[in-house]
Amino acid sequence: MCGIVAGLAQRDISKILIEGLHRLEYRGYDSAGVAVIDPAGELRRARAVGKVRALEDELREAPLSGAIGVAHTRWATHGRPAQHNAHPHLSSERVAVVHNGIIENHEALRGELEGAGYVFTSETDTEVVAHLVDRELCSGLALPEAVNAVTARLDGAFALAVMEQRNPELLVGARQGSPLVVGVGIDEHFIASDPLALLPVTDRFVYLDEGDMVAITPAGIQVLERTGDRDELTPVTREVVRYEHSVEAAGKGEYRHFMMKEIMEQPRVLSRTLAERLDPQGVRLEAFDVSRHSFLAADNGAEKGKQVVDVARLTQLFADVRQVQIIACGTSYHAGMVARYWLEEVAGIPAQVEVASEFRYRERVAAPGTLFLTLSQSGETADTLAALRDIQKLNREGPQAGHYLASLAICNVAGSSLVRESDLSLLTHAGPEIGVASTKAFTTQLVALMLTTLALRQAKGDGQTDDLLSRQLLMRLKDLPHVIEQSLALDGEIAQLAEKFMHRHHTLFLGRGSQYPIAMEGALKLKEISYIHAEAYAAGELKHGPLALIDEDMPVVAVAPMDDLMEKLKSNLQEVRARGGQLFVFADPEVSLKAGEGVHVVTVPGVCRFLAPIVYAVPLQLLSYHVAVLKGTDVDQPRNLAKSVTVE
Ligand code: M6R
């Protein structure tokens, strides 16, 4: 989705902005642009449809330079991908705006501005912001006050960076519903929608709170909070946080694609997600972080320099959980579906899983004692965030409206909106995930979900009785990175198998029990990056319809670990084979399945049935990767998709 990078420096900023745009490319976009105020005081702009490379070509023809600038990658929402719709948008040749998100009331504002004589040159919702700011400046307001007055009139979610030709030493940013960070440098400061954009110039960031504005001048950064019915701006102090990953962590290293690098990183990042979270008694509750205003924060936490969780309160909260409501989108939703099996069987707690875009728009009944659990790699997915905000609103309205005990986010991005707005969070330490297809984020989410399941089980126990299942699972978790390494060793075999898929138009994925969501995840990966239509079914559903699709042109991928459902799955596979279907089975060494005519078996390392979903996800990731490479698609930035879906 759209990306913002902007800055004010004491040197030419154009190269920093272009490098920042390259670093935002992974998010998905269709056009790019940049504007600077040049040394002669002129507002200059360049825009191009397509990749940032196209913008660079344009800049080679007509270079831009200046110490202040705003730049953007656009993912079209209002108006097709075209140069005139690309950002930055200007007003009166003196205001330049870049914008992420959607201005919902843009049509009414456009009518009003046209009535006032403004001429629009794009179909975007963003252009209204440029003209509104211009109108406020004309009425005599300074830029921060003008932006504040304008944002007060905007409905929807947005992040903005704005500059004014007459004031080349002032850059203003505003955040409302879309992420925005301030990059803190030495004598130069920046704004971006994602810290990754700025890693070459700084590793220190201020994460703006909802509703914050920032004014950047040569004197420094001033974060402004809107108070008094939003028309007053009060300076506030926000913490400066050091980014924990290196610039290299966001690079491709020796790999051809980010996706492959990220698949191969899994043993290491799974170890990191487990590290320091286990002790001989079980899961350490200190692993859960609390947000600044959380009722679970220890009273003396802030004195220790970091807000920490009150372990006694959290133990009580976990003991009180009667139900878990899991909300997520895409791959994260599949992780949630696996967790449902674990929560019910391991922790004995009923769980419901729903995609955020459905949950947020229906009337719901929350059972008392419900823990609201969100899953997200980015922590910025619009629907997931909206679902969280919705239940928080219900909780504020009183017990008759909502019964959610607390909100817990399992997330990969420390300063993300989801983490900051949830009561509790458990970070996955997958490191930056750049490939649009989620891989290491998924398996680390599963590990974090197993830790949460065990923590809930612990809280329900008496703390005295020896808990054999917990002990066994903890042991197996410690061994998991090693098993994943063995799983990755299947890469060569899977690369060969991929050749059998590259000319197919459809593929069916089958799984049972907690492997059904893994079949769904395998299908999502394949369609997402190879553009092959793929569907997943719980294998027991085959006879209820999809069996009609089976013929020799329909490859059927099955996930077959050693568990209680194995014999039943084998019968389902026989049904496929009897109708001429080509089977590709990822199976446990103990599953006696013979390869032969129409049956390909890939033996996956043996693993305990609870952790099998994590292990079986890996060969399916490799399969879709190799099919996509053979088909020559854009593996890391598949068509039409964005890494982080920050608009509805
Ligand atoms: O950042 P999130 O985990 O909230 O993102 C959710 C989905 O958009 C994401 O998992 C998407 O489905 C991936 N591209 C799948 O590979």
The pLDDT, as a whole number, for residue 230 is 57
Residue 414 lies inside a defined structural domain of this protein: yes
Q: Is residue 596 part of a domain?
A: yes
User: Containing domain of residue 212, as a range?
Assistant: 2-243
Q: Of all atoms in ligand 1, which is nearest to the CA of residue 445?
A: 3
Q: Is 256 exposed, middle or buried (0-12, 13-18, 19+ CB in 10 A)?
A: exposed
Catalytic residue status for 643: yes
Would 397 be classed as within a structural domain?
Answer: yes
**Residue 231 domain-assigned?**
yes
Same domain for 166 and 23: yes
Q: Which helix (H) or strand (E) holds 136?
A: helix 126-138
CATH number at residue 202: 3.60.20.10
Q: What is the structure's pLDDT at 648? A: 74
| Residue 378 alpha carbon to ligand 1 centre in Å | 8
If DSSP codes are grouped into helix, strand and coil, which group holds residue 568? helix
Q: Are residues 162 and 69 in the same domain?
A: yes
Pocket of ligand 1 (CB under 6 A): 329-332, 376-378, 381, 384, 436-438, 524, 528, 644-645
Q: Residue 43: exposed, middle, or buried by beta-carbon count in 10 A (0-12, 13-18, 19+)?
A: buried
Answer yes or no: 252 catalytic.
no
Are 221 and 284 members of one domain? no
3-state SS class at 637: coil
Which residue among the candidates 261, 440, 525, 643 is catalytic per the annotation?
Answer: 643
Query: Phi and psi for 616 in degrees, rounded to 5?
Result: -75, -20
Amino acid at 25: E
Q: Tally the domains of the chain.
A: 3
Looking at the structure, tell me whether residues 124 and 257 fall in a common domain.
Answer: no
Question: Consecutive 10-residue runs of the chain (648 residues): their mean pLDDT?
Answer: 93 96 87 96 95 95 96 88 93 94 91 94 94 96 95 91 96 92 94 93 92 94 80 85 76 92 97 91 90 81 70 94 97 98 96 96 88 96 94 81 86 91 95 94 98 94 79 94 97 96 94 96 97 94 89 91 80 83 91 82 94 98 98 92 79
What is the number of alpha carbons within 13 Å of residue 469 lying toward its C-beta? 15
Instruction: Indicate the residue among 484, 513, 545 that finishes a domain.
Output: 484
Q: Specify if 648 maps to a domain.
A: no
Cα 320 from chain centroid (whole Å): 30
Residue 53 lies in a domain: yes
Count of C-beta atoms within a 10 Å radius of residue 591: 20
Selection from 155, 165, 149 nearest residue 125 by Cα: 155
Measured between alpha carbons, how far is residue 53 from residues 6, 60, 64, 123, 256 in Å?
18, 10, 15, 24, 19
CA distances from 20 to 73, 142, 248, 411, 446 (A): 10, 28, 15, 24, 32
Question: What angle is formed at CA 616 by the lines to CA 346 and CA 553, rounded to 5 degrees?
Answer: 130
Q: How many CA atoms lie within 13 A of 167 on its CB side?
A: 18
**What distance in Å separates the CA atoms of residue 311 and residue 313, rounded to the nearest whole number?**
5
pLDDT of residue 543: 86
Probe ligand 1: pick from 411, 645, 646, max atoms within 8 Å of CB? 645
First to last CA, the chain: 11
Q: What is the CATH number of the domain that holds 614?
A: 3.40.50.10490
Ligand 1 closest atom vs CA 436? 14
Residue 120 backbone dihedrals phi, psi, to 5 degrees: -90, 140
Across 56-73, b (16+ Cβ under 10 Å) vs e yields bebbeeeebebbbbbbbb
Sheet holding 555-560, edge to edge: 533-538, 506-511, 555-560, 582-587, 599-603
Which of 462, 484, 506 is the last residue in one of the domains? 484
In this structure, which residue's CA is closest to atom 9 in ligand 1?
330
Amino acid making up residue 633: T
- Residues 285, 177 share a domain: no
How many whole angstroms separate alpha carbon 30 and alpha carbon 46? 15
Q: Which residue has the tokens 């905007």?
A: 154
Same domain, 323 and 287: yes
Ligand 1 center from residue 331 Cα (angstroms): 5
Q: Are residues 500 and 627 in the same domain?
A: yes
Cα distances from 424 to residues 177, 294, 318, 512, in angstroms, run 20, 7, 12, 32
Q: How many CB atoms are located within 10 Å of the residue 310 CB?
A: 19
pLDDT at residue number 424: 96
Q: Residue 639 domain-assigned?
A: no
* CA-to-CA separations, 133 to 127, 146, 210, in angstroms, rounded: 10, 6, 20
The CA distance from 181 to 33, in Å, is 20
Asked whether residue 133 falls in the same domain as residue 271, the answer is no
Tokens of 482: 């090693």
Same domain, 453 and 475: yes
Same domain, 61 and 208: yes
Handedness of CA 27, 178, 358, 379 (dihedral sign): positive
Q: Write down the pLDDT at residue 591.
A: 81
- Position 304 scores a pLDDT of 55
Q: Is 301 helix (H, G, I), strand (E, B) or coil?
A: helix
By most ligand atoms within 8 Å of CB, the mutation choice from 26, 329, 425, 634 for ligand 1 is 329
Q: Is 643 within the bounds of a domain?
A: no
- 197, amino acid identity: A
Are 534 and 527 contacting, i.e. CB atoms less than 8 angstroms apart?
A: yes
Residue ending a domain, choose from 436, 462, 484 = 484
- Say whether both 209 and 279 belong to one domain: no
Q: 582 and 476 in one domain? A: no
